[in-house]
Structure 1
C-alpha cells in the first residue's frame, strides 16, 4: 500500500506527518510525506521557528511525485491540519489527479478545526472551507465530536444524535466516518469512545480515558484507521486495531511523564496491536 500524506511536519516531537509517517511505515505502508509547514515544534508550545510552505511549493512537490509516475500506485491520499486556505486547492487538485490515474484511490481527510475544550484553533475561513469544499470531496473523514457538529450544524452528544450527525456528514459526500473522542453522558465513568460508520453498519469501541493531553494522537489515529480500512474494507477491524494501537501509545506516553508522544517506543503496538478492546455493533 502507498499513501500520499499532505500534512505539517515538526523537528521536535510528533504531530502531522511527524506523527503519522512512522506508524504507517511500521505496519508496512509506503508513505510519501509532503510537508505544509516545517516547524521546530508544534504551536501548542506558544513559540516555534521555521517556515510555512507556500501552496505553490507544496504543489510543486506533488507535481514532482507525479513526474515520477507514482500517481497510479497511490492507494490513499491523507490530509490533516490545513494552515492556510490555499492548501485546500492544492489537496483537492492532487486528489482529482490521483483518482484520474487510479480510480480506486481513497481520499481520507482529517478535518482539523479544534475541540470541545479549546474551541476552534484554526483561521476562521478554514472550517467553512473544510465543510463546503474539502469534506464533500473525501471518501473518509475522521472528525472528533466537536468537528462533526460543526460540519453538520448539529450538537451531537448522545449515541443517537452522533449517529444522526454522521449520516448528515455521509450525505455530503464521504461514505465512511470515524468519530474520535466521543463523549456521551451515559457512557461509563472514566471512558472515551470512537465510532466508525460506513455503508455496512456502525461500530463503537470504548477505552479508558487517560488524564492527559496528547498533541498528535489524532494524526496517528487518522493515519492508522485510514490504512487499515483501505487494506481490508472492514470498519470494525480497522476500529479495533486503531483503538488498541492508539491507547497503548497514549498509555506509554502517560506513564513516561513526557509531553510528547512516545511514538518510537510504542512501535510494537502498531505492528502487533493487542486487540484488547471490544468493538460493538450499534447499527
Structure 2
C-alpha cells in the first residue's frame, strides 16, 4: 500500500513522521513523507532548532510527487499536528488531489488539540481549523477522549457518553473513529482503553496502563490503526493489532527508562506482536 504522510519531522527522537513512517515501512507499506516542520527534537524539551515549512513548500512537494505519477495509487493519506491555516489548506488540497487520482483513497486525520491533563495546547486558529474544516473532510479520525469532547462540544467519560460523542462527530463527516486513551470511571485500576467505531459497530480493547507518557505514541497508534483498517477493512482486527503493537512499544520504552520511544528496537512489535488483548464489541 502506498501512503502519503504529511506530518512534522524531528531528527532526534520520534514524533510525527519520525514516529509514523518506520512502523508503516516495517509492515511493508511504501510511505512518502512530506514534512510540515523540520526540528532537531520535539518541543516538549523546551528548546529546539529548525524551522516550520510553509504551506506553499508542502504544495510544491506534493505537486512534484504528482508529476511523477506518485499519487495515482495512494490508498491512505495521513496527517497529524497542524500548525495553522496555511498548512491545513495545503493538506486539504493534497487530500483532494489524491482522491482525484484515486477515488478509493481515504484520509486519516489525527486531530491533535490537547489532552485531559494539559488541556487544549494549540492556538484558537488551529482549534477552528481542526473542528470546522479538517475533521468534516476526513474519512477516519483518531482523537483521544479529550479531543473528541472538544470537537463535539461534549465532555465524555463513560462508555455511553463516549459513544454518543462519537456519533456526533461521525454525523459531521468521518465514518470511522478511533478514540485513543479512553478513561472510563468504572474501568479496572491501571488500565486504559481504545474504542473503534464504524458503520458496522463499535469495539473496545483494554490494556494495562503504564505509569508514564512518551511523545509520539499517539502518532504510532494513528498510523498503525489507519493502515491496518485500510488494508483489512476489519475494525476489530485493526484495533487489536494496534493495541498490542503500541503496548509492546511502550512497555519496551518503559522498561528501558528511555526518554524517547524505542521505535527501532521494538520493530517486531509492529509485524508480530507477542501480546494479544481481547477486542470486545460494545454496539
Give the structure-1-normalised TM-score. Answer: 0.99
Matched residue, 2:181: 181
Aligned twin of 2:53: 53
Contact kept in structure 2, 1:241 and 1:275, CA below 8 Å: no
Correspondence for 2:255: 255
CA contact (8 A) 2:66 2:72 kept: no
CA gap of 1:25–1:265, structure 2 versus 1, over 3 A, is same
- Residue of structure 1 in register with 2:86 after alignment: 86
Partner of 1:207: 207
CA offsets per residue over residues 116-138 of structure 1, 9 Å max, x none?
A: 00111112211111110000000
What residue number does 2:116 align with? 116
Residue 275 of structure 1: CA displacement? 4.9
Residue 273 of structure 1 deviates from its aligned partner by 2.0
Whether the 8 Å contact between 2:111 and 2:130 is mirrored in structure 1 is: yes
Superposed counterparts of 1:10-89, under 5 Å: 10-89=10-89
- How many angstroms apart in 1 are the aligned matches of 2:69 and 2:190? 49
**Deviation, structure 1 residue 232:** 0.5
Equivalent position SS for 1:32: strand
**1:228 offset after TM fit, Å?**
0.2
Please list every run of 5 or more consecutive structure 2 residues that lacks an aligned counterpart in the other structure.
none
Q: Distance in 1 between matches of 2:209 and 2:275?
A: 17
In structure 2, the partner of 1:147 is 147
2:2 maps to what in 1?
2
Equivalence for 1:228: 228
2:107 matches 1:107:
yes
What whole-Å deviation, never above 9, does each CA across 1:77-96 have from its counterpart, x for those lacking one?
00000122211100111111
Equivalent residue, structure 1, for 2:136: 136
Match of 1:191 in 2: 191
Q: For the residues of structure 2 that align with 1:11 and 1:100, how far apart are their CA atoms?
A: 33
Q: What are the Cα deviations for residues 103-153 of structure 1, in whole angstroms up to 9, with x where unaligned?
A: 000000000011000111112211111110000000000000000001111
| DSSP 3-state at the match of 1:12 | coil
CA deviation vs aligned residue, 1:149-178 (integer Å, no higher than 9, x gap): 011110000000000000001000000000
Question: Contact conserved, 2:26 with 2:270, CA < 8 A, in 1?
Answer: yes
Q: TM-score, with normalisation over the residues of structure 2? A: 0.99
Find the residue that maps to 1:72 and give its secondary structure. Answer: coil
The alpha carbon displacement at 1:276 in A equals: 1.1
Provide the rounded CA distance (Å) in 2 between the counterparts of 1:204 and 1:280. 5
* Deviation for aligned residue 1:227: 0.2
How many matched pairs?
A: 283
Moved over 6 A (4+): none
Check conservation: 2:84, 2:129, Cα contact below 8 A.
no
Give the alignment's Cα RMSD to 1 decimal.
0.6
Cα distance in 2 for partners of 1:260, 1:229 equals 27
Range with greater deviation from structure 2 (116-125 or 145-154): 116-125
Superposed CA deviations along residues 27-58 of structure 1, whole A, max 9, x for unmatched, are 11110000000000000000000011111111
SS of residue in 1 equivalent to 2:77: strand
Q: How much does 1:274 deviate?
A: 2.8
Paired residue secondary structure (1:83) = coil
